[in-house]
Amino acid sequence: MPLAVPFDSDRLRDPALRPIAEKLQAGVRLSAADAVTLYTTTDLLGVGAMADAANRARHGDRVTFAANQHINPTNICVLRKTCVFCGYARLPKEEGAYRYTLEQVLAESDRADGTITREFHIVGGLDMQAGLAYYTEMFRALKARHPQVHIKALTAVEIAHIARIEKMSREDVLIALRDAGLDTMPGGGAETFSAAVREQIADKKLGGADYIDVHRTAHRLGIRSNCTMLYGHVETIEDRVEHLTMLRDLQDDTGGFLAYIPLAYHPDDNALGETLGRTGTATTGFDDLRNLAVGRLYLDNIAHIKSHWIMVTQPVSQVALHFGVNDIEGTVVREKIYHAVGAHTPQGMTLPQLLGLIRGAGKHPAERDSFYTVLREFGATANDDESVMVAAPVGATPHESASALAGA
């Protein structure tokens, strides 16, 4: 049962939102039809005000972030031709294809110079040469070198791929990875679950029911995870609502999702963008804020809604802190997947930049660990101690920053 949230309905311009506000106030779960209304009304400020009230009831003014580092060990992917929205993947012999050796992964893990990295976020392509041993050795070596660092790695799609090439069950793959050091799983690979959408944008990719099945299995094994939805391509409003309903239903069963992250489709340097004639036209700020707010209101059983500033830009992420968002992607260090598809945001943010962004919205920044336990509060204003914790993002090497480089 959702929290009953105090809310002043006079803030709503669209009368169609009033029954939804009444449910919010009474702690009644929103229906799929309510979600459609939230997605179709032009009263974005009304939707945002409700999401903000729901967020404040849970988290007050606190906004969390993690000191994380993304590592993308291989961009070689068997689905390179069929995930038409992806600009990162390469075929094995294609220009720009790479697969890190263990030494290269370890070197990459040391690059967050000056950052107190607490989480490695590791995702890549579906590479036939990167089987179970590739990842178990990697995780064991990373844990030996950085014992305090949490490993959030491998999407449901990558887990299913490893199981297929190793001829093992997904459960056995997850157990082996967990034993090697996997702590949690990221939410990538979900795209939009609708079969009709998948046929158009990711024909051969693991289907929605299977994505849910892998996360269900992980949750049963004590591996918590995030969930995502890729929006702003060919999906309909009904597709979005169906997708969110599947996530909410699984969360009712397992409680294993930590956070929901809506991902804004970027149309540059990928076949879908060209087919749709959308090159250079990313999602609108209106739709970005709406997706975050609907996530907060409809996914009443997922505690954390994260804004991915790399995709929606820092200014939109900052405004989103008043549209239901309580968590913001962290320092990152080096990002490749979105920078392969036209993201113009920086490769990483320093700690002072992150703190400034959060404080600039009148919120209170706090660093968290990967399970959302708060590690330190930073207060409403800057203090001297913070200058010694400056995390300098490491510049990308030219071949990595310029063009295409993946992520299941």
Q: Which is nearer to ligand SF4, 17 or 406 (CB)?
A: 406
Q: How far is the CB of 337 from ligand SF4 (least distance, A)?
A: 8
DSSP-derived letter for residue 73 is -
Q: Which is nearer to ligand V47, 186 or 208 (CB)?
A: 186
406 binds, among ligand V47, ligand SF4, none (CB under 5 to 8 A by kind): ligand SF4
Query: Which pair of tokens denotes residue 206?
Result: 């693991």
DSSP-derived letter for residue 397 is P
Q: Which is nearer to ligand SF4, 84 or 177 (CB)?
A: 84
Beta pairing, strands 304-307 & 364-368: unpaired
Q: How far is the CB of 259 from ligand SF4 (least distance, A)?
A: 20
Give the Cα separation of 243 and 192 in Å (integer): 6
Give the Cα separation of 51 and 58 in Å (integer): 11
Q: How far is the CB of 218 from ligand SF4 (least distance, A)?
A: 18
Subset of 43-62 contacting ligand V47 (CB under 6 A): none
186 binds, among ligand SF4, ligand V47, none (CB under 5 to 8 A by kind): ligand V47
Indicate the residue whose CB is closest to ligand V47.
188
Q: How far is the CB of 261 from ligand V47 (least distance, A)?
A: 5
The footprint of ligand SF4 (CB under 6 A) covers 77, 79-80, 83, 86, 88-89, 125-126, 157, 205, 406-408
Query: Which pair of tokens denotes residue 57?
Result: 């009831």
Query: Which pair of tokens denotes residue 221?
Result: 């094994």
Q: Which is nearer to ligand V47, 50 or 337 (CB)?
A: 337
Give the Cα separation of 36 and 128 in Å (integer): 40
* Cα 393 to Cα 37, 117, 202, 383, 390, distances in angstroms: 41, 11, 33, 21, 9
**Which one of 191, 242, 367, 400 is in contact with ligand V47 (CB under 6 A)?**
191
Q: How far is the CB of 66 from ligand V47 (least distance, A)?
A: 9
b/e per residue 338-372 (b: at least 16 CB within 10 A): bbbbbbebbbbbbbebbbbbbbebebbbbbbebee
Give the Cα separation of 274 and 272 in Å (integer): 5
Binding mask 315-344 for ligand V47 (x = CB under 6 A): ----------------------x---x---
**Which one of 71, 162, 263, 293 is in contact with ligand V47 (CB under 6 A)?**
263
* Contact present, 229 and 253 (Cβ < 8 Å): no
Indicate the residue whose CB is closest to ligand SF4.
83
Q: Which is nearer to ligand V47, 5 or 366 (CB)?
A: 366
Give the Cα separation of 129 and 400 in Å (integer): 21
Give the Cα separation of 230 and 218 in Å (integer): 21
Subset of 267-296 contacting ligand V47 (CB under 6 A): 270
**Which one of 2, 188, 208, 262 is in contact with ligand V47 (CB under 6 A)?**
188
**Site of interaction with ligand V47 (CB under 6 A):** 85-87, 123, 186-189, 191, 226, 228, 230, 261, 263, 265-266, 270, 308, 337, 341, 407
